[in-house]
Structure 1
Amino acid sequence: MKYMATYDVMESARNTNEWLGASARAFASYPIFALSMNPFLPLMAAWGEVAERSFARMMVKPDWGIRSIVGPDGQDHIIDVKTVVEKPFGNLIQFFVRRRAPMARKILLVAPMSGHYATLMRSTVASLLPDADVFVTDWHNARDIPMSEGKFDVEDYTLYLVEFMRALGPDTHVIAVCQPAPLTLAAVAYLAEEDPEAQPRSMTLIGGPIDPDAAATEVTDFGRRVTMGQLEHLAIQRVGFRHKGAGRLVYPGLLQLAGFMSMNADRHSKAFAEQILRVVQGEAGDHDAHNRFYDEYLAVMDMTAEFYLTTVERIFKNREVARNVFTVGGKRVDIGKITKVAVKTVEGANDDISAPGQCVAALKLLTGVPETKKTSHLEPGAGHYGIFAGKSWRLNIRPLVLAFIDANSGRPRPQKAVPIKLASSN
C-alpha cells in the first residue's frame, strides 16, 4: 500500500499542475482583461497554456501520425496500422500501404521499451516505408495491464521477439534500436537452436548495450554504483487505483521522466521559458518545433518492475549477453549458434547513452557467422538519437542499412531506394 500511495501522490501532483495550468489560462484569457495594460495577464495565460499541455501529455500515448506516403507513381498511398500479433504486453503491428504490392524488403523494427512509447520511432518508420514493408514492436504501458496477465521480464521480452520473428517468417530483416539490441541478439540465437528455419536473413543492431563495460557512460556508471536493493527501493512503485493495472509493481513513467529532465535541466528550463514567450508574442503553433518534440518526449510509459530490474541486473551488472551466458527458461542461449544471419552494427561517435564499443561487441560474440557476413559502421559526429532518427540516419545510415539488407536478401537486388516523400505526418 505504501508504494501504491506514492504512485497516486505523484499522479495527483501531475493532475494538479495540469489543472493549475488550465485555470491560469482560462482566468487570464477573460475578454474583459484585454482592456488592461498589465503585461502579467498575457504572461499568465501563456504559462497556463504551456503548463496544461505539458502535464496533460504525460498521460497520453502519441498517435503515429503517418497518414500516407507518396509512391513512385506520384499517387498518395494511405497507411493503415494493422495488428499482426496481439499479446498482453505488446503487439506486432504492420504499417500497411494500401494499393501497393508486397515489397522485396520486409523489416521488423524492434522499438525500445525504455520509458517512451514505440512512437518515438515515428520518423524511422516513415523513412523506411517508401522502400519496405515495415513491422514494429508496439509495447504496452504496464499501468494498463491487469495483474492477472502475470509477469514480464527480459526472458519474456526475448520470447515475444521469438514469436514475432516466427510470425513474419525467414525473409525478415530485423533492425533493433538501443535497449532491445542485446535481447534481439539473444532471440535470434534462441531461434538458431530451436527453430533455425525461422531465423531472419539479417540483423542490424543500432546503438545497443551489447557489452556495457566496453565503454563507460553515465548509464553504466549508475548501474555499477547502485545496488539492486537500492534500485528497487528508489524506483519501484505499485500502480495506483485509477488504472487497470492497479497493484502491479512498475518503474513509473513519471519517475523516469523526472530523471530524463534532471539530466539536462538547464536546457529544458530554457526551452519552456522561450516557448512561453513565443505564446505571448503569438508565434507559437500547435505543431511547432517545441510542441512536436515535447509532445513525444513528455509522453512516458511505466515499465514492469521485473523487466526494469532484470535489465539492470542481467544485461548491465552481470553482462549475461556480453559473456554469452544468457538463459531463457533455465537454458543457455548460445550466440555462437547463429551461423547464417548477416549482422551489422551501427554506432554514433558522440553517443552518450550507448557509447562506441558497446554495440560492435556483438560481432566478437558471433563466432559462427562468417566474417564476410559481419560489418560495422561508426557515424562521425552522431549522438544517440541521430543514429536512428536524426540527420545522420536520414543522410548516411539509412542508405547503408538498406544496402546491407539488399546484399543479404537471398534474392535479386530489389528496386532502388526512392527519395522519402511523406504526404502527411506529425
Structure 2
Amino acid sequence: MRFMIPYDVMETVRNTNQWLGASAKTLGAYPMFAPFPNPALSWLAAWGEVTERTFDRMVTKPGWGIRSMTGEDGKDHVVQKSVVMERPFGDLLHFDVLGRKPKPRKVLLVAPMSGHYATLLRSTVMSLIPDCEVYVTDWHNARDIPVSAGTFDVEDYTLYLADFMRHLGPEVHVIAVCQPAPLALAATAYLAEEEPEAQPASLTLIGGPIDPNAAPTEVTDFGHSVTMGMLEETMIQRVGFKYKGVGRLVYPGLLQLASFMSMNSERHASAFTNQISAVARGEAHDFDKHNSFYDEYLAVMDMPAEFYLSTVDRIFKKAEIAANTFTVRGKPVDIGKITTVAVKTVEGAKDDISAPGQCVAALDLLTGLPASMKASHLEPDAGHYGIFAGKSWRNNIRPLVLDFIDSNSRKAPKAANTNSAA
C-alpha cells in the first residue's frame, strides 16, 4: 500500500481539477446569467474549458488521426491501421494504404517508451506513408497491463524489437527515434549472432543516447546525480485500483509530466494564460496551435518500473551500450558483430536532450562494419523534436534517410509477402 497511496492521491488531484474545470465551464455558461453579461463569467467559463481539457488529456490516449492520403494517381486512399503482432507490452502496427500497390520501401519506426505514446511520431509517420510501407511500435500504458503479464525491462524491450525485425524480414529498414536508439542497435547485434539472416537492411538512429557521456546534458547529469535507491523510493509507485494494472510497479505518467513541465514552467504558464484569454475572446478552436500541441504533450503513459530503472542504470549510469558490455538473458551482445547492416546516425546541433556526439558514437562501436556502410548527419539549428518531426525533418533529414534506405535496400524473397499479413 505504501507505493499505491501516492498514485491514487495524484489521480485524485487530477480528477478533482478536471471536475472543477467542467463545473466552472458549466457555471460560466449558465443560461440564467445571460441577461447580465459579465466579463468575469466569460473568464470563468474559459478557465474551466482549458482546465477540463488539460486534465482530461493526461489520461487519454491520443488517436493517430491518419485517415487518408493522396496517392500518385491523384486519388484519396484510405489509410487503415492494423495490428500485425500483438504483445502484452506493445504491438506492431502497420499503416496500410488501401488501393495502392505495396511500396518497395518497408520501414519499421521504433517509437520511444519514455513517457509519451507512439502518437508523438504522428507527423513522422504521415511524412513516410506516401513513400513507404510504415510499421510502428505501439507501446502500451503500463497501468493497463495486468500484473500477471510479468515484468518488462531493457532486455525485454530488445527482444521485442528483435522479434519485430524477424517478422518483417531482412528487407526492412529500421528507424529508431531517441530513447530506443541504443536498444535498436543492441537488437540488431543480437540478431547478428543469433539469426544473421533476420537482420534489417539498414538502421537509422535519430537523436539517441548511444553514449550518454559523450556530450553531457541535464538528462545525463540527473542520471549520475541520483542513486538507484533514491529513484526507486521517489519515482516508483503502484498502480491504483482504478486500472487493470492494479498493483503493478510503475514510473507514473503524471509524475513524468510534472518533471517535463517544471523544466519550462514559465513558458507553459504563459501558454495556458494566453489560451484562456483566447477562449474568452472566442478566438480558440479545437485544433488551434495550443490544443494540437498540448493534446499530445499532456497525454502521458506509465512506464514499467523495471524498464525505467534498468534504463537509468544500464544505459546511462553504466553505459553498457557505449562500453559494448550489454547482455540479454545472460548472453553478451557484441555490437562489433554487425557486419552487413548499414547504419546512419542523425543528430541536431541544438539538441539539449541527446546532445551531438551521443548518437554518432554508435559508428565507433561498429568495428566489423565497412566504412562505406556507415553514415552520419548533423542538422544545424535543429533541436530534439525537429530532427524527427519538425521542419528540419521534413525538408532536410527525411530525404537523406530515404536516400540512405534506397542505397542499402535488399530485394525481398519472391515467396515472402509480409504486407499481406497486415
Judge same fold: TM > 0.5, yes or no: yes
Who is 2:6 aligned against? 6
Equivalences for 1:266-415 in 2 at 5 Å? 266-410=266-410
Who is 1:161 aligned against? 161
Q: What do residues 317-352 of structure 1 show as CA deviations (whole Å, max 9, x unaligned)?
A: 000000000000011000000000000000000000
Who is 2:226 aligned against? 226
Asked if the contact 2:171–2:411 (Cα under 8 Å) also holds between the matched residues in 1, the reply is no
Post-superposition offset of 1:289: 0.6
Q: What do residues 260-284 of structure 1 show as CA deviations (whole Å, max 9, x unaligned)?
A: 0100000000000000000011000
Q: Distance in 2 between matches of 1:98 and 1:25?
A: 42
The runs of 5 or more residues in structure 2 that have no matched partner are 413-422
Q: Distance in 1 between matches of 2:114 and 2:171?
A: 28
Q: Distance in 2 between matches of 1:356 and 1:139?
A: 27
What is the number of residues matched between the two proteins? 412
Q: Distance in 1 between matches of 2:34 and 2:138?
A: 47
Q: Does 2:82 correspond to 1:74? A: no
- Aligned-pair identity in percent equals 71
Greater mean alpha carbon deviation, residues 29-38 or residues 348-357? 29-38
Q: Distance in 2 between matches of 1:156 and 1:238?
A: 20
Who is 1:258 aligned against? 258
Post-superposition offset of 1:38: 2.5
Who is 2:416 aligned against? none
Q: Distance in 2 between matches of 1:147 and 1:97?
A: 36
Q: Distance in 2 between matches of 1:278 and 1:79?
A: 34
Q: Distance in 2 between matches of 1:158 and 1:134?
A: 20
Q: What do residues 178-203 of structure 1 show as CA deviations (whole Å, max 9, x unaligned)?
A: 00000000000000000000000000
Asked if the contact 2:117–2:301 (Cα under 8 Å) also holds between the matched residues in 1, the reply is yes
Q: Distance in 2 between matches of 1:307 and 1:203?
A: 23
SS in 2 for 1:372: helix
SS in 1 for 2:92: strand
Equivalences for 1:13-162 in 2 at 5 Å? 13-162=13-162
Asked if the contact 2:170–2:410 (Cα under 8 Å) also holds between the matched residues in 1, the reply is no
Q: Which amino acid aligns with 1:327?
A: T
Q: Distance in 1 between matches of 2:123 and 2:156?
A: 28
Q: What do residues 284-339 of structure 1 show as CA deviations (whole Å, max 9, x unaligned)?
A: 00111100000000000000000000000000000000000000001100000000
Q: Distance in 1 between matches of 2:256 and 2:166?
A: 33
Q: What is the TM-score of this pair, normalised by structure 2?
A: 0.97
Q: Distance in 2 between matches of 1:181 and 1:410?
A: 22
Q: Distance in 2 between matches of 1:338 and 1:59?
A: 40
Q: Distance in 2 between matches of 1:35 and 1:358?
A: 62
Post-superposition offset of 1:35: 2.3
Q: Distance in 2 between matches of 1:279 and 1:400?
A: 41
Who is 1:417 aligned against? none
- Alignment RMSD, CA only? 0.8
Q: Distance in 2 between matches of 1:37 and 1:411?
A: 69
Q: Which amino acid aligns with 2:373?
A: K
Q: Distance in 1 between matches of 2:364 and 2:277?
A: 52
Q: Distance in 2 between matches of 1:126 and 1:409?
A: 22
SS in 2 for 1:2: coil
Q: Distance in 2 between matches of 1:65 and 1:252?
A: 26
Q: What is the TM-score of this pair, normalised by structure 1?
A: 0.96
Structure 1 outlier segments of 4+, above 4 Å: none
Q: Distance in 1 between matches of 2:135 and 2:28?
A: 47
